[in-house]
Structure 1
């Protein structure tokens, strides 16, 4: 048995601290149009479908980059990849700050999505290589919860800064912060503790050393992963649970609350911030229930979370205008349940695939969430345009209600496939 002493506690927490606050900044950058979508529409004279493309193409690039980022993390480690990701996000926000037209602005968001794709996988790699293997699961949950604070920054301080100064100052400030974190990562972050020769995970109870890998398997591995109903169950779980929250928080929530429901920007930001708080509270609860009831996760956690979102949205859509504040708060709490429920998908992927195919199955699962999210965002934008509500001054409560109703077929499709693949998985087991 080979024993490797863990790194000093302060050094582990320094690595994680820089990485996780970089992830907070990445979430802020990712959702930076959430509270200023109306401002963006005015600035670029963009209709609703075009505004949707900002988020759709950003998410598409983020999802596409997950595969090469895994390969690059294996080859070069977290430090250079995360630093480059920060530089790309800074470049994207600088271009966004100075962009003269909508085409360049969309390209800026795609550049930002490419940089964003490197941060969360990089932080998870730091957790795996710096912390004892027994603490990895807890630290990954803590990383995800802490990172969501970036949504609060995007929803409250960013619009205040924009309205107090200018578009250039607000987005230029985000670019400056990304450069600061690129320097911090390059200067202080190390791929692994100095006593270890490579990126490995150490079990300090047994002394076992495991090489950390992130790469996605070959095309044959992707086919093998998809052929297992457990992987398809994971895909449809991640497809169905989080997309409504993604569409609401990334783009359409604040315009709906302000232009549709008549809330002030501050009130809309406060309502949307409940989404973040609820996600932080619900995450550990869902994680504990998932661990305690591994064979009932679909029916106990995933489908109830989807059902809560569907019921809340139907109540909002049918309620006479204006919708009361308490119902809007219940709506965002229901939407927040989709994030923790969607993480169950990765438990499915891990449970039903061999270790050598885990990264492949995880990648396939992750695609489901981004595919549904960008589809929902685009459908809402197109539905607004079809109704003639293509610009903020034309937005109406009725138009938003019909637009958000386009999410219902996605939920029905997802739930049908979850039940189908769950039955197939149980038969195989």
Structure 2
């Protein structure tokens, strides 16, 4: 299972993370060689997330119909072609098309791996396998820092993408030849039925805005704008900046294992993943505010928190698994990923547009430009957190009312403070009796 299923799909997910964050390292060379401004650079990097988001629902259907082996291997061939085109491109349009091809080509990496784990691994090991897959795949972000910088000194960014094209083709062949064929389900619900069940669910729309605004923002910042902040705002040289990006990339990998372990242990104590996700959101907002307000902290500390939040999909997928039956969880994850990558595109491209409202001096944008751009995303996250906790506040109000309004003589409630079915769904099994 590990050699013929787990590791081949980890290889695909690793390349997905590498392609996602590689533009952070080569953005300076791209701008110098092809004369790209902040808006063009933001669009070039974020188009990956745009096409990635648009492909999630069709890919969910393809995975259900043809299995992860065929879908992942075919799409990785497209990603390899996009990498080869990127390395040979001579203008912005060619780069944009190549980046879009890469985004579509690796858009099934996470979902294919998760579906493969559900298909072949015992149910009691699925959560652990998911955590390890995300942790190992996130090493692609680690590779996109110091190791890639060493390689760039010999190959340049064009040679680098030719090597990535070769590695992607190899991963496609590995998955096609090594992974066994999955048994197809005898009967499945129509795609429209599955999608309507997901997108009409109140629980989905409770977690989706918070998950998208936090995880999508974390991906956007680490994939592109962290390097610009470290250089333009913190004043770090290239070597120091790459070292900090390397540590942040390790934070993604370690964060996946940390959050998965915490969620598992808290669950045993009757605390659901929703509570942990809300706590992570608060830390995320505090880290962003520390950067925006220029608090006297080492810049690595808030950026490390931001990188860890990029691995919070471990919690999102666990929460959705509680909301939907097994036959719908794959499509539910894909539906949530649409919002993750869609918001990531908005933040990444929008940040570039906001920065361009100020004039660059010596190739650097002023601090206020970054503060305004980052603050816009923080406002959305705070609103999403408020939407997420509103049901908890209502439940808390009912508990307080029941405590204070109970008639001690008759031990009955003078008002209706019963728990609604929606609120009961937020309670752990041992609390539902309340």
Q: State the TM-score bracket (shorter-chain normalisation).
A: 0.7 to 0.9
Q: CA deviation at 1:61?
A: 1.0
Matched residues in 2 for 1:222 and 1:247: separation? 27
Give the Å deviation of 1:412: 2.1
Q: Following the alignment from structure 2 to structure 1, what is the Cα–Cα distance between the partners of residues 274 and 5?
A: 38
Aligned to 2:87: 97
When Rg is computed on C-alpha atoms for both structures, the one with the higher figure is 2
CA contact (8 A) 1:129 1:212 kept: no
Aligned position for 2:27:
37
Match of 1:386 in 2: 357
Q: Confirm or deny that 1:157 pairs with 2:143.
A: no
In the alignment, which residue of structure 1 is the partner of 2:335?
364
**1:111 to partner: Cα distance:** 0.4
Q: Which runs of 5+ in 1 are unaligned?
A: 1-10, 193-197, 200-210
Instruction: Verify the 8 A CA contact 1:240 1:306 in the aligned structure 2.
Output: no
**TM-score of the two chains, using structure 1 as the length reference:** 0.83
Aligned twin of 1:176? 166
Q: Distance in 2 between matches of 1:142 and 1:20?
A: 9
* Residue 271 (str. 1) matches residue 271 (str. 2): no
Superposed displacement of residue 50, structure 1: 1.5
1:144 and 2:144 correspond: no
Taking the aligned partners of 2:372 and 2:392, their CA distance within structure 1 comes to 32
Residues 3-18 of structure 1: matches in 2 within 5 Å?
Answer: 12-18=2-8
The counterpart of 2:386, out of the listed 371, 395, 416, is 416
1:286 counterpart = 2:276: no
Cα distance between partner residues in 1 of 2:114 and 2:175? 14
Unpaired runs of at least 5, structure 2: 396-418, 425-434
- Contact 2:25-2:144 at 8 Å conserved across structures: yes
1:159-196 deviation digits (Å, cap 9, x = unpaired): 3322433222111111111122223223323224xxxx
Task: Give the distance between the partners of 1:288 and 1:237, measured in 2 at CA.
Answer: 21
Question: Aligned pair count?
Answer: 397
Q: 1:98 to 1:136 in 2, by over 3 A?
A: same
**TM norm structure 2:** 0.82
Question: Given the superposition, is the C-alpha separation of residues 190 and 407 from structure 1 closer, same or farther in structure 2, using an over 3 Å criterion?
Answer: same
RMSD: 2.8
The answer on 1:310 being equivalent to 2:285 is yes
Task: Using the TM superposition, name which of 99-108 and 121-130 deviates more.
Answer: 121-130
**For the Cα contact (< 8 Å) 1:67–1:216, is it kept in 2?**
no
Following TM superposition, by how much is the alpha carbon of 1:151 offset from its aligned partner in structure 2, in angstroms?
Answer: 0.3
C-alpha distance in 2 between matches for 1:370 and 1:358: 18
For residue 246 of structure 1, what is the aligned residue in structure 2?
219
